[in-house]
C-alpha cells in the first residue's frame, strides 16, 4: 500500500534534489576561466587579487576579469574609457554607448541573477541594487561592484579609478581622469565674466522636472558660475523637483538646457511654442542648448563634452 509522502519528507527530498542540481551546475562550469590571459598593457600594476571599494563595501577581484557584465550605462561608458572594453562580455539594455558595447536584453531595473550568471561573469558592475541583486550574486559567488550615482565630479573621477583598478587599467584610468579635469578646467576658464551669475533652467522632461545644484549635473552649472533656478524648490524631490511652468517663465532664465531631446523629443522650436515661453530671455536670445539625455543624466567621461558644450553656449 503506497502512502502519500508526508510534508517533512517532501521538503527533505526537494532539498536533496536542489543540492544535486547545484553540484551539477558547479561541475558544469568552465574550468578554464581562472587561467585568463594576464593584462599585457599594464604589467606592473597587475597585482591580483585586488580589493576595491564600492557603494556596497569592499569587493575583492581574484584575477584580472575577462568576463565583465555591466548593469549600469555609466559604468559601461567608464569601462570602455579606461580600456577595459575588450573584457566586457555583456551590458544591460540601457548601455547604448559606446556603440561597440555588447548590448543585451539584461535589465538593470528588474535584474535576474540567473540571466546574469549565464554569462559566467567574473565581475558584475551596477549602479543600483535593485531587487536584492547584489545579495543574489553574492550567493552565486559572483563579485558585484556597486557604484551608485555620483553627486560630484570628484565622485565620478573616483569611480573611474575604482573601475581602472578592478579591471587592471590603473594607469589608463588616471590618464582619463586627468584629461577630463584638464578639459573641464579649460572650459570653465573660457566662460566670460559677463556670463557668470546668469540663470539656468535645466529640463529633465517637458513636465518641468529639473535638477538642483545638489545633483551631479547641477554641480556642473555651479562650477560654470551659473545660478540654478531649481534651487529655490524645497529639497523634497531628492534634487529633482518638478517646477511649475509659470515659475520657470517668471524666473526669466538666461540659458535653458534641454536634456529631454531623446525621451520627449523636445527641441528649441517646440520650447518657443510653449505657452508664455516666448517672453523668456533664453528663448528670445536663442540661448537654448539641446543635449543628449544620456550625456546629461550619466556621470561618465562624456560629462567633459557636456561642460564644453555649455561653456560654448555661454561664450555666445
Partner 1 sequence: MLALGGTGLALVLALLAGVTIGAIPLSPLAVVATLTDRLTGFVGWHTGAALSGTDAAVLLQLRLPRVILAALVGAALAISGAAYQGVFRNPLADPYLLGAAAGAGLGATLVIAYAPDQSLGPVGIVPLAAFVGALVGVGCALALGTAAGGSQSATLLLAGVAVAAFLAAAQTLVQQQNTDDLRAVYGWLLGQLGRAQWSDIALVLPYLGAAVLVLLLCGRALDVLAVGDDEARSLGVHPGRLRLIVILAASLATASAVAVSGLIGFVGLIIPHVARRLVGGAHALVLPVSLLAGGAFLVLADLVARVVIAPAELPLGVVTAFIGAPFFAGLLWAGARRR
Footprint on this chain of partner 1 (rule: CB under 8 A): 94, 107, 109-110, 205-209, 232-234, 236-237, 241-247, 249-250, 252, 263-265, 270, 274-276, 278-280
φ, ψ of residue 145 in degrees (nearest 5)? -110, 115
Q: Which is nearer to partner 1, 67 or 268 (CB)?
A: 268
Q: Which is nearer to partner 1, 46 or 237 (CB)?
A: 237
Q: Which is nearer to partner 1, 81 or 243 (CB)?
A: 243
Question: Which SS3 state, helix, strand or coil, does residue 144 take?
Answer: strand
Q: Which is nearer to partner 1, 44 or 236 (CB)?
A: 236
| Closest distance of CB 227 from partner 1, Å | 14
Residues 6+ apart with CB under 8 A from 288: 255, 256, 257, 258, 268, 271, 272, 282
Q: Which is nearer to partner 1, 183 or 274 (CB)?
A: 274
Q: Which is nearer to partner 1, 42 or 206 (CB)?
A: 206
| Closest distance of CB 253 from partner 1, Å | 12
Alpha carbons within 13 angstroms on the beta-carbon side of residue 167 total 35
Contact 64, 167 (CB under 8 A): yes
| Closest distance of CB 252 from partner 1, Å | 6
Q: Can you tell me the distance from the alpha carbon of 277 to that of 271, in angstroms, rounded to the nearest whole number?
A: 7
| Closest distance of CB 210 from partner 1, Å | 9
Q: Is the bond preceding residue 103 a cis peptide, omega within 30 degrees?
A: no
Q: What's the CA angle centered on 248, arms 244 and 192, to 5 degrees?
A: 150
| Closest distance of CB 270 from partner 1, Å | 7
Q: Which residue has the cell 582619463?
A: 176
Residue 184 CA: distances (Å) to CA of 94, 151, 223, 269: 26, 17, 9, 29
| Closest distance of CB 293 from partner 1, Å | 9
Amino acid at each position: 500500500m503506497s502512502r502519500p509522502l508526508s510534508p517533512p519528507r517532501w521538503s527533505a527530498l526537494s532539498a536533496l534534489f536542489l543540492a544535486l542540481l547545484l553540484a551539477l551546475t558547479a561541475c558544469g562550469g568552465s574550468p578554464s576561466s581562472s587561467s585568463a590571459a594576464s593584462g599585457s598593457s599594464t604589467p606592473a600594476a597587475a597585482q591580483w587579487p585586488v580589493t576595491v571599494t564600492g557603494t556596497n563595501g569592499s569587493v575583492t577581484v581574484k584575477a584580472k576579469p575577462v568576463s565583465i557584465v555591466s548593469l549600469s550605462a555609466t559604468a559601461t561608458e567608464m569601462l570602455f574609457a579606461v580600456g577595459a572594453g575588450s573584457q566586457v562580455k555583456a551590458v544591460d539594455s540601457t548601455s547604448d554607448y559606446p556603440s561597440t558595447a555588447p548590448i543585451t536584453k539584461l535589465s538593470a531595473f528588474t535584474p535576474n541573477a540567473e540571466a546574469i550568471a549565464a554569462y559566467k561573469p567574473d565581475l558584475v558592475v551596477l549602479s543600483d541594487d535593485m531587487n536584492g541583486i547584489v545579495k543574489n550574486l553574492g550567493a552565486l559567488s559572483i563579485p558585484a561592484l556597486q557604484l551608485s550615482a555620483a553627486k560630484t565630479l570628484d565622485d565620478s573621477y573616483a569611480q573611474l579609478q575604482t573601475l581602472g583598478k578592478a579591471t587592471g587599467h590603473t594607469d589608463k584610468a588616471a590618464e582619463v581622469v586627468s584629461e577630463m579635469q584638464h578639459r573641464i578646467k579649460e572650459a570653465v576658464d573660457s566662460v566670460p565674466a559677463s556670463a557668470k551669475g546668469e540663470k539656468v533652467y535645466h529640463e529633465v522632461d517637458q513636465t518641468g522636472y529639473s535638477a538642483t545644484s545638489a545633483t551631479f549635473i547641477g554641480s556642473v552649472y555651479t562650477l560654470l558660475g551659473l545660478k540654478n533656478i531649481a534651487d529655490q524648490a524645497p529639497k523634497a524631490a531628492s534634487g529633482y523637483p518638478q517646477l511649475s511652468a509659470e515659475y520657470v517663465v517668471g524666473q526669466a532664465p538666461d540659458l535653458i538646457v534641454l536634456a529631454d531631446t531623446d525621451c520627449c523629443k523636445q527641441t528649441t522650436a517646440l520650447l518657443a511654442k510653449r505657452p508664455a515661453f516666448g517672453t523668456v530671455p533664453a528663448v528670445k536670445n536663442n540661448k537654448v542648448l539641446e543635449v543628449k539625455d544620456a550625456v546629461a543624466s550619466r556621470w561618465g567621461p562624456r560629462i567633459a563634452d557636456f561642460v564644453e558644450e555649455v561653456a560654448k553656449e555661454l561664450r555666445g
